[in-house]
Amino acid sequence: MNNPQTHYAVMGNPIAHSKSPLIHTAFAQQTGQAMQYTAILVAEGEFVQAVERFQASGGKGLNITVPFKQAAWALADQRSQSAERAGAVNTLWFDEQGRRIGENTDGIGLVRDIIQNHGGQIEGQRILILGAGGAVRGVLEPLLQATPAQCVIANRTVSKAETLAELFAANVTACPYDALQGQSYDLIINGTSASLQGELPPLPDGLVAEGGWCYDMMYASTATPFVQWGQKQGAVLALDGLGMLVEQAAESFYLWRGVKPDTAPVIQTVREQLVKP
C-alpha cells in the first residue's frame, strides 16, 4: 500500500508523454526522499475536483501542465509574485492549514538552464522572445529579474505581445515578425509551439548577433527546427528546452521537500531516454 503522506503527482491532459514521473523519481532516489510520484490524467472541466480528491487523500503537492495552469492559478489560495504575474501556476502544495500555495517555476527553470548549466548571460543582453502565449508569460518575470538590457516580444498577433509588454512594463516592447528585419539580438528565445509542428516563425536572416545564443523552450528527440535555424544562423549555442524542463522540476522538488537535487545527471538520463529508438 502506498503511503499517501508522500504522494506527489503531475496533472494534465494529455499526460502519458510527461517526463515528470521519471524526473521526480530520479530526484527522490538521488536525495534519499521517500516519496511516490505519479501522472494523473484529468478530464477537461474536472480539474478542481481532481485536486480536491488528491488533497483529501493526503497528497502533498502537484505539478500542473497543459491545459490546467490557469485553472491552478485560480485555485491557489496564495501565490508567489512570479506566479501572480505569470497568470499561471505549475506547482501546487498544501500547507498545514490545507491552503493551496501556487508557484510558477518555468521561468526559474529557463534562467537556471541558461546561466548555471551553460554559462550563459542574461544581464545586459538584448533578448528577443518569439510568441506571446502562456508559455512566454510564464517565464517573463524571472527573465526580467535577471536584468537584460532589452526585451522584445515578437508575435504574429502583435496586440497579444503588446498586452504582455504593458503588463510587465520595465523595458519590454512588442513588435510583429516583419519588424525584425535589420535587428539583431544576443539571446533569442522561442516560446511558440511551432517546433512541435516541425515549423518555424517567419524570421529574417541576420537576427542572431555575433556571439549570440538561441534557446527553444520546446524539446524533442532530435534538434528542433528552431535549434537547427539557430545553428545555421551562426549562434554560438542553440539549445532546446530539456534543461529548462528538468530545472523547473528541481525547483518544484525543492519547494516540496526542502532539498535541491543535482540536475545534471537527470538531464542526461532524460535525454538518453528521448533518443532511444
C-alpha distances in angstroms, 221 versus 1, 91, 242, 246, 252? 36, 26, 10, 15, 24
Q: Is pLDDT above 50 for 2?
A: no
Start-end of H helices in 169-224: none
Q: Provide the mean pLDDT of the chain.
A: 95
Give percent of the chain above pLDDT 70: 98
Q: Is pLDDT above 60 for 1?
A: no
Q: What is the CATH number of domain 119-240?
A: 3.40.50.720
Tell me the binding residues for shikimate: 18-20, 65, 90, 106, 219, 248
Rounded to an integer, the average pLDDT of 16-43 is 96
Q: Give the relative orientation of helices 264-275 and 242-257 as an angle to the nearest 10 degrees.
A: 130
Give percent of the chain above pLDDT 90: 94
Tell me the binding residues for NADP(+): 131-135, 155-160, 217, 241
Alpha-carbon 262 to chain mean position? 18
Give pLDDT tens digits for 237-270: 999 999 999 999 999 999 999 999 999 999 999 9
The reported pTM is 0.95
**According to CATH, where is 3.40.50.720 located in the chain?**
119-240
Angle in degrees, CA 203, 147, 128, rounded to 5: 5
276 in catalytic set: no
Nearest-angstrom CA–CA distance, 50 and 22 = 22
* Per-residue pLDDT at 275: 84
Nearest-angstrom CA–CA distance, 45 and 34 = 32
Nearest-angstrom CA–CA distance, 264 and 53 = 34
Tell me the binding residues: 18-20, 65, 90, 106, 131-135, 155-160, 217, 219, 241, 248
Active-site entry in 60, 69, 232, 260: 69
The residues that bridge with 185 in the sheet, in sequence order, are 208
Nearest-angstrom CA–CA distance, 72 and 52 = 12
**According to CATH, where is 3.40.50.10860 located in the chain?**
4-104+243-275
| Cα–Cα nearest to 114, from 226, 221, 213 | 213
CATH of 4-104+243-275, one of 3.40.50.10860, 3.40.190.10, 3.40.470.10, 3.30.930.10: 3.40.50.10860
Write down the number of H helices and E strands in the chain.
10, 12
Give pLDDT tens digits for 119-162: 999 999 999 999 999 999 999 999 999 999 999 999 999 999 99
Q: Is pLDDT above 80 for 5?
A: no
